[in-house]
Amino acid sequence: MSVRWWIAWLLAASLASLGASRVGAQDQDSGAEGSEGAKNEGVLDLDEDVDVSGIEEILRGEQEVLQGDVFSYDPAGRRDPFRSLLEGFQDEDTGGAKVRPPGLPGMMVEELRVEGILETPSGMLAFVQGRDNQSYIIRPGTKLYNGEVKEILPGKVVFKQQVNDPKQTRPYDEVVRELKY
């Protein structure tokens, strides 16, 4: 049923209850006029103007919402359910929306090849080659496009790769890249 039908029904019900309360008030005032009060019982006085400006305002608001002029979504820190989960995660080859930053922060875990591992007094370092055929030095905590370096061990590098899979219990995978001798 439409909102207009409900508003009309609500208006009719309120007018009927208003008429019933007026008839009850007339019965108390009339006292001895029993036959006259019985004649007018249940009759609604339509000479008085009824304020319907509130109903017209509601109907205008409904029309604006239906036309899409008023509605807006406030996520309040939550994910917007009206946006695609895949938005922003497309690859550049498929016409993705995101442009990767240059250098190591724009490299994905899959695009790195471990070239060497070095132990220094400040900790372990690894040399990797990226998709642009340039060498980079990485340390634990180095950020990549889809993850970060978790730890560097003798002979291998462990990456923490972000995964966008709602079926998994963890939002990341551990990817191990071994040094090829």
Residue 87, domain member (yes or no): no
**140 close to 156: Cβ distance less than 8 angstroms:** no
Residue 93, domain member (yes or no): no
pLDDT of residue 118: 93
pLDDT of residue 32: 47
Q: What is the C-alpha to C-alpha distance for residues 181 and 170, in angstroms, rounded to an integer?
A: 32
56 & 105 share domain:
no
- Provide the CB-side half-sphere exposure for 166 (13 A, CA): 2
Q: Domain range holding 12?
A: 3-67
Structure tokens at 61: 């608001």
Structure tokens at 42: 């249940």
Task: Give the number of domains in the chain.
Answer: 2
Residue 74, domain member (yes or no): no
In our burial notation (b when 16+ CB lie closer than 10 A, e otherwise), range 91-122 reads eeeeeeeeeeeeebebbbbeebebeebeeeee
pLDDT of residue 160: 93
Residue 88, domain member (yes or no): no
- Domain boundary among the residues 67, 85, 119 is at 67
58 & 16 share domain:
yes
Beta-strand (E) ranges in the chain?
Answer: 113-120, 123-129, 135-138, 147-153, 156-162, 172-178
Residue 78, domain member (yes or no): no
Structure tokens at 66: 């239906």
Residue 86, domain member (yes or no): no
Query: Per-residue pLDDT for the chain (181 aa), expressed as one digit of tens each?
Result: 577 777 877 777 777 776 655 555 455 555 545 455 455 555 555 556 777 778 877 777 777 666 665 556 666 777 777 777 776 665 555 555 578 888 899 999 999 999 999 999 999 999 999 989 999 999 999 999 999 999 999 999 999 998 887 777 888 889 999 988 7
User: pTM here?
Assistant: 0.46
Residue 81, domain member (yes or no): no
Radius of gyration over alpha carbons of the chain, in Å? 37
Residue 73, domain member (yes or no): no
φ/ψ of 16, rounded to 5, equals -65, -40
Q: What is the C-alpha to C-alpha distance for residues 23 and 43, in angstroms, rounded to an integer?
A: 8
pLDDT of residue 119: 92
Of 105, 101, 127, whose CA–CA distance to 114 is shortest?
Answer: 127
pLDDT of residue 49: 72
